[in-house]
Amino acid sequence: MLNKLLYLSIVSFIIGSEIDKKFDYKSSIFFAGVEFKLIKNGESPNRYIWLHGDEQTARMALEHHIGHFQGVAFFIQNKNREIPYKSTIVDPNRIFSRSGAYHALRKFKPGWPRGVLKRSLDEIDEGRKKFLNILLPDNTGLLISVHNNFRGYNVFKEKDKSQKVSIKSNENPRDFIICTNPQDYDKLSNGPYNVVLQNKLPEHDDGSLSWEALRNNVRYLNIETRLGYLSKQKKMLRFVEHTLN
């Protein structure tokens, strides 16, 4: 952990005087050309990340949460779902593996010259290692990602990728928790929210952060709610904190 914080102090810079004094620092790092601002509160090994710029409820929920619970929160500095990268755009949650990055780069620009595409993938590989060195917690911490949905995505679409499911009849299926640790699942599934366990890597890796966390034996959770349901997402974040910490 000391090495991670030392590296962070080298690659990041302090942002302005508007910082709330209860935070130790507010700084920035970059991955795939996009900036992530960081807020650190206390000494917890927990890490939080907001990855999609168009999911503003998740951003507000995480800003509120990091003010009340310890850890380090990562906020992407982008207004859209995709980020600009070279001459195309990519989903930032699809570049956490080389295979995922390959398909993400070709999604909006299928005609890459072979050498240019390889160099771009090599650059993303290098940047990913540095970014994950800061982002991933040690084995005592959690990595919690916050997301919103507004296109009909729901917990039932995750059933085929899950090893266990706990779907509550009185809960909206668009509000749910994905976790990668069986012990975390057992604790969370006794609560009021929809929960699925995904602790086996899929045959086709889509480059999402969840699979990279699983490869690194990191306890990962995605707290997913409908866009606009801020109170719900705050409650789900608190529930995870109180249940697992």
For residue 93, give Cα distances in angstroms to 49, 79, 100, 211.
11, 15, 9, 10
Decide if pLDDT at 128 tops 80: yes
N-terminal to C-terminal alpha carbon distance within the chain: 19
Q: Cβ atoms within 10 A of the Cβ of 84, count? A: 13
Q: H or E segment at 74?
A: strand 71-76
The interaxial angle of helices 2-11 and 114-135, nearest 10 deg, is: 120
pLDDT band at 6 (very low <50, low <70, confident <90, very high): very low
pLDDT exceeds cutoff 80 at 38: yes
pTM over 0.85: yes
> What are the boundaries of each domain within the chain?
2-244
Check if the beta carbon of residue 35 is closer than 8 Å to that of residue 48.
no
pLDDT of residue 10: 33
Rounded to the nearest angstrom, the gap between the alpha carbon of residue 141 and the centroid of all alpha carbons in its chain is 14
Cα radius of gyration (the chain): 18
State residue 20's pLDDT score.
38
- Tell me the CATH architecture of domain 2-244: 3-Layer(aba) Sandwich (3.40)
Sheet bearing 164-166, strands edge to edge: 25-31, 34-41, 71-76, 47-50, 142-149, 219-226, 176-179, 194-197, 164-166
Burial bucket for residue 186 (CB in 10 Å: 0-12, 13-18, 19+):
middle
What pLDDT shows up at residue 26? 65
What is the tens place of the pLDDT at every residue in 151-201? Answer: 789 999 999 999 999 999 999 999 999 999 999 999 999 999 999 999 999
Q: What is the pLDDT of residues 53-82, one digit of tens each?
A: 999 999 999 999 999 999 999 999 999 999
Mean pLDDT, range 26-47, rounded to an integer: 94
- Give the type of residue at 221: L
